[in-house]
């Protein structure tokens, strides 16, 4: 249930007074579910590295949102892997945008899944939580003015803390690429792993910025066995990962592993459109081709 408090914030990556979006505060419902039924269609993207407008352009081209950034994906699911920032000081308005988009999707029967990466986990308790959101100026003669909230970013911190780092949607398992080594080493169940990450985040969040890496994707037998073990353990057909540092999107091990890259630095962001277990690479022009 939504609280009757409406706030407006500036769009990320712009100081224009006319660029803003609005949302309503949510009633806190604790941690999110980690398992969801099969969705008829999903759109999956990697961390955007502060490239908010190219990210939104990609969503618009594939009809996830419209030009006004309103949800148009119906009962579809949007999955976004974290590491959405590329510098030491995060812009909370980026997370506020996802906070509001999640509401709009839910109202249409859809869902937004934001899976934090090491950056968000390391920054969860950072100084940004004590700052005020960047509100747009109040419109003169407005009959329904927006509300500015004192210490509103505490609400956002609670929202971030409720996100999962691994989720299962139908026969697909989603986890950020950089968290795969931890998943392989520590996972006994989805519930236990998500609880472990939250605990580690509270105790030593900075350690997430220097996680060890797993050599994926590769053709080494050991890695094939690792992927098969995860698929069997969580009863899924495909492991889907994302990483902003790897620009290519590819499928390996006969479609058992789908890795989604993010080529924002070269102006070629892309995602993966999934429908009936068909995986299509979706580019910034709106084109989709089989992976």
What is the pLDDT, as a whole number, of residue 1? 45
- Sign of the alpha-carbon torsion through 82, 86, 92, 98: negative
pTM over the 0.85 mark: yes
What is the pLDDT, as a whole number, of residue 23? 83
What is the pLDDT, as a whole number, of residue 73? 97
What is the pLDDT, as a whole number, of residue 202? 82
What is the pLDDT, as a whole number, of residue 138? 67
Measure the CA dihedral 118/188/36/61, to 10°: 30
> Average pLDDT per run of 10 along the chain, which is 291 residues long?
68 71 78 94 86 89 94 97 69 88 95 91 84 74 66 86 96 92 89 92 74 57 81 95 76 90 78 92 93 89
What is the pLDDT, as a whole number, of residue 2? 46
Strands 172-175 and 166-169: antiparallel
What is the pLDDT, as a whole number, of residue 35? 97
- Sign of the alpha-carbon torsion through 186, 187, 189, 191: positive
Q: Which CATH superfamily is domain 29-129+156-290 in?
A: Metallo-dependent phosphatases (3.60.21.10)
Q: What are phi and psi of 207, to 5 degrees?
A: -65, -20
Question: Among 81, 73, 82, 66, which Cα is nearest to 105's?
Answer: 73
What is the pLDDT, as a whole number, of residue 272? 95
Cα-trace Rg, the chain: 19
What is the pLDDT, as a whole number, of residue 8? 82
What is the pLDDT, as a whole number, of residue 115? 95
What is the pLDDT, as a whole number, of residue 34? 96
């Amino acid at each position: 249930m939504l609280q009757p408090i409406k706030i407006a914030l500036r769009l990320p990556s712009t100081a224009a007074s006319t660029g803003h979006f609005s949302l309503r505060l949510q009633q806190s419902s604790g941690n999110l579910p980690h398992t969801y039924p099969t969705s008829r269609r999903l759109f999956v993207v990697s961390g955007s590295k502060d490239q908010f407008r190219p990210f939104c352009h990609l969503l618009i081209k594939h009809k996830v949102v419209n030009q006004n950034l309103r949800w148009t994906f119906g009962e579809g699911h949007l999955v976004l892997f974290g590491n959405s920032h590329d510098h030491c000081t995060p812009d909370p308005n980026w997370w506020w945008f996802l906070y509001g988009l999640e509401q709009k999707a839910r109202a249409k029967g859809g869902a937004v899944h934001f899976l934090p990466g090491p950056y968000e986990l390391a920054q969860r308790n950072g100084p940004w939580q004590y700052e005020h959101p960047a509100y747009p100026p109040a419109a003169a003669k407005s009959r329904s003015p927006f509300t500015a909230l004192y210490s509103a970013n505490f609400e956002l911190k609670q929202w971030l803390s409720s996100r999962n780092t691994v989720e299962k949607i139908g026969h697909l398992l989603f986890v950020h690429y950089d968290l795969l080594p931890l998943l392989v080493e520590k996972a006994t169940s989805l519930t236990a792993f998500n609880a472990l990450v939250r605990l580690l985040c509270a105790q030593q969040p900075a350690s997430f910025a220097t996680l060890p890496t797993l050599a994926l994707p590769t053709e080494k037998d050991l890695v094939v066995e690792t992927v098969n073990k995860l698929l069997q353990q969580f009863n899924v057909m495909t492991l889907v990962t994302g990483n902003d540092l790897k620009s290519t999107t590819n499928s390996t091990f006969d479609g058992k592993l789908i890795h989604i890259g993010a080529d924002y630095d070269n102006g070629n962001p892309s995602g993966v459109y999934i429908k009936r277990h068909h995986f299509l690479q979706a580019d910034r022009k709106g084109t989709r081709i089989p992976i």
